[in-house]
Amino acid sequence: MGKEIAAVIEANPRCELSYTPLRGEKWDSKKAATLDVWIDFSSPEALKDVLKKASENKTPVVCGTTGFSKKEKDLLKKYSGKIPVLWSSNMSLGVAVLNEALKSLAAISHFDFQIEEIHHNRKKDRPSGTAITLQENLEKAVGKKLPEALAIRGGGVFGVHKIFAMSDEEVLTFEHTALNRTVFAKGSVQAAEWLVKQKPGLYQIRDVLFGKKK
């Protein structure tokens, strides 16, 4: 993702890639102080350090890392009191719209529901962070607990998410397919351009499209 994001920034005349700290490298606090925004796609273990260092300079953070437990989610909440923090398990605009569309399933909440996701064979977490977010939003919409998302791993699939709504008479399927990883990089850079204009708070990619939830 780092390489994808660097390429998207390179092609964007409004943005400049200023600092890409590497594991084990000495921290350059002078460079860090000049940044407008951080974009972090790394690992759950790296999150605390990223938020701590960004907050020293009141720099907003866009974070796309997945596999977070309650501990990391609490960290996002804590630091969002000091700086703007935008975290989304999926930075694509299509999935942001899909999450909103799930609200309409409230009208058929008596149906059976099942989420299924497919990802490349190198993906570390399962079910995907996107499937977990879709499940949370779906359960909220239909007002009941649902079976865990099915995770399929294989080949080089960038990410497919399907939501099945099933009754005895019909099956409705919502489906999103990421055609490449650039989609996540583009979403995160768009989010970064938006986040620099926001007050401290915890945001999601949906807020870039629809405005912050009240």
Q: List residues binding ligand NAP (CB under 6 A).
A: 1-2, 23, 41-43, 45-46, 64-67, 88-91, 184
CB closer to ligand NAP out of 151 and 166:
151
Catalytic residue (one of 119, 161, 162, 186): 119
CB closer to ligand NAP out of 110 and 122:
122
Catalytic residue (one of 48, 53, 78, 123): 123
CB closer to ligand NAP out of 89 and 99:
89
CB closer to ligand NAP out of 87 and 113:
87
Question: Is the distance from CB of 38 to CB of 46 less than 8 angstroms?
Answer: no
Q: Which of 71, 79, 28 is nearest to 52 (CA)?
A: 79
Residue 172 beta carbon to ligand NAP: minimum distance, rounded to whole angstroms: 25
Residue 12 beta carbon to ligand NAP: minimum distance, rounded to whole angstroms: 17
Bridging pattern class, strands 201-203 and 84-87:
parallel
Residue 128 beta carbon to ligand NAP: minimum distance, rounded to whole angstroms: 7
123 is catalytic: yes
Between CA 206 and CA 49 the distance in angstroms is 26
3 is catalytic: no
Residue 135 beta carbon to ligand NAP: minimum distance, rounded to whole angstroms: 16
Under 8 Å CB-to-CB from 183, ≥6 apart: which residues?
91, 92, 94, 158
Please list the active-site residues: 119, 123
